[in-house]
Amino acid sequence: MTPEILPPLFGLLTGFLVGLTGVGGGSLMTPFLMLGAGVPAPTAIGTDMVYATVTKLTGSFQHYRQSSVNLEVAGFLALGSIPASLFGVQTLEWIKGAFNPEAVRSIMITVIAATLVLVGASLIFRIFMPERWVGSKQTGWDGKTAMSRRRRLFTIVFGAFGGYLVGLTSIGSGSVMAVILLLLYPISPGVVVGTDIAHATVLSLVTGIAHMTHGNVDFGLAATLLMGGVPGVLIGSKLSYVLPGRPLKIALAAMLVFVGSRLLIG
């Protein structure tokens, strides 16, 4: 197999998993670009942001048409996540300017490995979360009326946490944010998925533009990845109705924890 065929094939695989399970994009793409394709960390992260924006855009529109997006929650998440993601991009730029390329690679492998463990653990927790914890009515909000000032503040803070991870690593918005939404907001799991994807699309777009301004995007590589990624998302989305997503999510989460742990211990 020639090296030229690997990016579109991996784009196809990643897009398929995203369409089938709703998770796994940045968690798979960024490590592949860095470790498998030898792409420098800043370029891998920025290119993945462009890939993520395009692959999530279709899903975002579909969820909006199905009225499975809570715009208020998504909006307040974005108020925190977008500024924090730009700060994450600037942190990466500081690392890029303060250290030599080998040191940058080593630092970012460690940061990404820790994020992979966090994302994998969050996904496992989400899969096995007791149903009584999901959309708890103990929160004092029905998911339809306007949020209180305190809840809006918490939403902004949680959004900032996820946004910073995305700006710095391109990983983390989906699994970590979905767990927070499921635990703290009494909205259905379907609306959690739609709200998360809609928010992640906007976040990826803004963060991707920020990476473009710093020269961290390889547009040729992004186009090659999307050659496989776009049909992969469409195929995965169609098969999600007939294939069991839960076993794949468990396997994906276990793989993320394993790969992240191996990278951390060297």
**245, 237, 29, 182: CA torsion to nearest 10:** -60
pLDDT at 205: 92
Mean pLDDT over the full length of the chain: 83
List the one residue out of 195, 200, 63, 57 whose CA is nearest residue 119.
200
In the chain, which ranges are continuous DSSP H helix?
Answer: 6-21, 25-31, 41-65, 71-98, 101-128, 149-169, 173-184, 189-213, 219-239, 245-265
pLDDT at 26: 74
| Residue partners of 90: CB distance under 8 A and separation at least 6 | 167
CA 89, CA 102: separation in Å to the nearest integer? Answer: 19
| Residue partners of 3: CB distance under 8 A and separation at least 6 | none
CB atoms within 10 A of CB 226: 20
Provide the residue type at 225 as one letter. Answer: L
| Residue partners of 181: CB distance under 8 A and separation at least 6 | 73, 187, 192, 195, 196
pLDDT at 237: 73
pLDDT digit string (tens) for 121-163?
888 887 787 766 555 444 445 456 667 788 889 889 989 998 9
CA 181, CA 134: separation in Å to the nearest integer? Answer: 9
pLDDT tens-place values along the chain, 266 residues long: 556 788 888 888 888 877 776 666 778 888 889 988 889 999 999 999 998 888 878 667 766 677 778 888 889 999 999 999 999 999 999 999 999 999 999 999 999 999 989 888 888 887 787 766 555 444 445 456 667 788 889 889 989 998 999 999 998 766 677 777 777 776 776 677 778 888 888 999 999 999 999 999 999 999 999 999 888 888 877 776 677 767 877 888 888 888 889 888 86
CB atoms within 10 A of CB 189: 16
pLDDT at 144: 62
Provide the residue type at 71 as one letter. Answer: L
The domain spans of the chain are 33-265
| Residue partners of 198: CB distance under 8 A and separation at least 6 | 60, 63, 64, 69, 71, 74
Give pTM, 2 decimals: 0.87
**196, 200, 201, 204: CA torsion to nearest 10:** 180
Q: With contact defined as beta carbons under 8 Å apart, do 133 and 186 qualify?
A: no
pLDDT at 138: 46
